[in-house]
Amino acid sequence: MRNRWSDADAGDGPLGQCAYGSRLIGGEPTLVLHGGGNTSVKAEIADVTGAPVEVLYVKGSGHDLASIGPEGFAPLRLARLRELLTVTALSDAQMVNELRCALLDASAPDPSVEALLHAMLPHRAVQHSHADAILTLTNLADGEAVIRDVFGDDVAIVPYVMPGFDLAVRCAEVWRDRAHAGTIGLVLLNHGLFTFGDDTREAYERHLDLITRAERRLAEHNAPAPAPAPARARPTSAELALLRREISEAAGRPMIVARHADEDTARFVARADLAEVATRGPATPDHVIRTKRVPLVGRDVAGYADRYREYFERHHRRRGTELKPLDPAPRIVLDPDLGMLTVGGSAKDTDVARDIYRHTMDVITAGERLGGYRPASEEHIFDLEYWDLEQAKLRRAGAPQAFAGEVALVTGAASGIGRACARALAAAGASVVGWDLDAGVTRTLPGAGYLGQVVDVTDRAAVESALRAAVERFGGLDMVVASAGVFKAGAPISALDADAWRTSMAVNVDSVAVLFRETHPLLALAPRGGRVVVIASRNVPAPGPGAAAYSASKAAVTQLSRVAALEWAADGIRVNVVHPDAVFDTGLWTEEVLAKRAADYGMTVEEYKRRNLLRTEVSSTTVAQAVTRLCSDDFAATTGAQIPVDGGSERVV
């Protein structure tokens, strides 16, 4: 592993250098993944009275080593931590409380649960990772002997103990009995590596040195060039959506399901011994929170859920306190035909599970080559999964967002009403698929929960392939908002332009009919029932002269939606229509057009914008709020409705 330390880039002082060294290991996915690992540095500062105080700056929980800065560290009174290490027992809750009480800054993040272990080590700088190479070697049946062989007497070995007070005490015992002047690391079996030094650079270089030695051992048993994975037929969107529905039923809430079929994954799931090697347990117990103890191999979700309940029954009494069972749905699904599916309450969660399990596949593959992958015991995994601190997080968690775990498709999502709908649905927790002709649709929303696709909704092949990609990304579809539309320049019927008429019909009606046909099988599998909202127009109940093509097309799409409401009610799908009017913050309205139109009516622009019964301005956001509410349970008993969002029109009321 390459040494990336640069004195020119290292920050100022011990804390700056610690943050820099943290980012170096945090930026290396074979060392640290998604919030894993931690680091610290000890320094002497003056407190507000001017008195010198020894401080341990340790990574704050919730901060990621890949991006941490000095503010991500929690400053603790070192003398107090050393006192805590002398008590005979400390529950997790007591430890968390004591750590907070030892802070020098009341606004600092919660210190890492491994803070006492950092405090115990006499060196100024400490780095801790969950490196793949260390996990591979320590997850072997003879892991301890292999570690001894690779590192000689340069490291002390600590048997697996759950993170927290007990681990710190166990490490202190090992340190007292085994450490000597040449000890540069602690190897925690089934867990990871600690290195230390006089400064962060030394701790970092020792880390790399030990990792490099471990990697060299792995390379001695290098695999022959991998055979290409066998080609398999892609699963259909309906197959994936059905599996997502079953997983969501087991979880008791809608879940996002992402599919991964890259070459490495395809090769792993094609292993003849897949069901056996993949169900021994995670590479380190910590991963259980993201991946559960074992993946579902195959597609029997109900069988998996039964086995999970049995696992809970086998272990929960041992703990002597009431435990709240977690949902029994898998987080990783491995299937020779599907590849890997990762499952989570959000798209981000599915990404984290994917990253962790990709490394797990590497660790399993290498471990099997070296003589057999033997992870921590089922008891250890259960104890971490049902750790007091994890249970406390569940107790604290508020109600999930209205659309958590659900997927919404919004057409016309690059601007105006479509973009506002995409944002409002995402703000309520939905993962969103946005379509538009405008390439700006890829930037409508940031983050893992958004997939922007450049799609011409009148191109059937493009619609089919975009929909397929969306299902591969999120697992299915719960909501559709049909917002893409065109308004061709007004003309009286006597001067009707046949092409303009045809385009209006193609975009405003035909494309929605195709969208309905293609999305119906997916909406019928939505865990909480499908919901469709069509953006029509006030022109439907109150047409205007000179807008024949627009009014007729919006009337047709309204009628199409009413038929869908009739046909799909038995599938639990609600279909509603909104009729907006005078929404001026869309691409259709430029300032010039607005000024001209106001002048035509003898009004100021402000008066013109509010020429409705309520004298209110209707914006894209106003429409998006109505659409979002229609998709929510507030309207669970409403289908086939047409809701004006127009400030009130005397021609409609």
Active site residue 373: no
295 close to 274: Cβ distance less than 8 angstroms: no
DSSP, collapsed to helix, strand or coil, labels residue 506 as helix
Complete DSSP assignment for 308-367:
HHHHHHHHHGGG-S---PPP---SEEEETTTEEEEEESSHHHHHHHHHHHHHHHHHHHHH
Encode 198-209: b = buried (16+ Cβ within 10 Å), e = exposed: ebbbbbbbbbbb
The token duo for 39 is 């680091």
Q: Is 640 left (phi over 0), alpha (psi -120 to 50) or beta?
A: left
Cβ neighbours of residue 7 closer than 8 Å, sequence gap 6 or more: 201
The token duo for 335 is 């299937």
Q: Rounded CA gap, 553 and 507, in Å?
A: 9
Cβ neighbours of residue 137 closer than 8 Å, sequence gap 6 or more: 143, 146, 147, 150, 214, 217, 218, 370
Residues linked to residue 454 through DSSP beta bridges, in sequence order: 436
The token duo for 9 is 């880039």
Encode 20-50: b = buried (16+ Cβ within 10 Å), e = exposed: bbbbbbbebebbbbbbbbbbbbbbeeeeeee
Strands (E), 130-253: 155-158, 185-188, 192-197
The Cα diameter of the chain in Å comes to 98
Block residue for tokens 């703000």? 427
Q: Rounded CA gap, 341 and 241, in Å?
A: 12
Supply φ then ψ for residue 454, to 5 degrees: -80, 110
Encode 621-649: b = buried (16+ Cβ within 10 Å), e = exposed: bbbbebbbbbbeeebeeebebbbbbbbeb
Supply φ then ψ for residue 542, to 5 degrees: -140, 80
Q: Rounded CA gap, 362 and 268, in Å?
A: 9
Complete DSSP assignment for 546-590:
TBHHHHHHHHHHHHHHHHHHHHHGGGT-EEEEEEE--B-SSTT--
* Closest to 522 measured CA to CA, from 477, 480, 479, 563: 477
The token duo for 191 is 């867990």
CA 523 to chain centre: 22
Q: Rounded CA gap, 213 and 150, in Å?
A: 7
Query: 3-state SS string over 219-270?
Result: HHCCCCCCCCCCCCCCCCHHHHHHHHHHHHHHHCCCCEEEEECCHHHHHHHC
- Given the residues 304, 308, 311, 550, select the one marked as catalytic: 550
Q: Rounded CA gap, 164 and 356, in Å?
A: 22
Within 10 Å of residue 460's Cβ, how many Cβ atoms? 15
Annotated active-site positions, please?
550
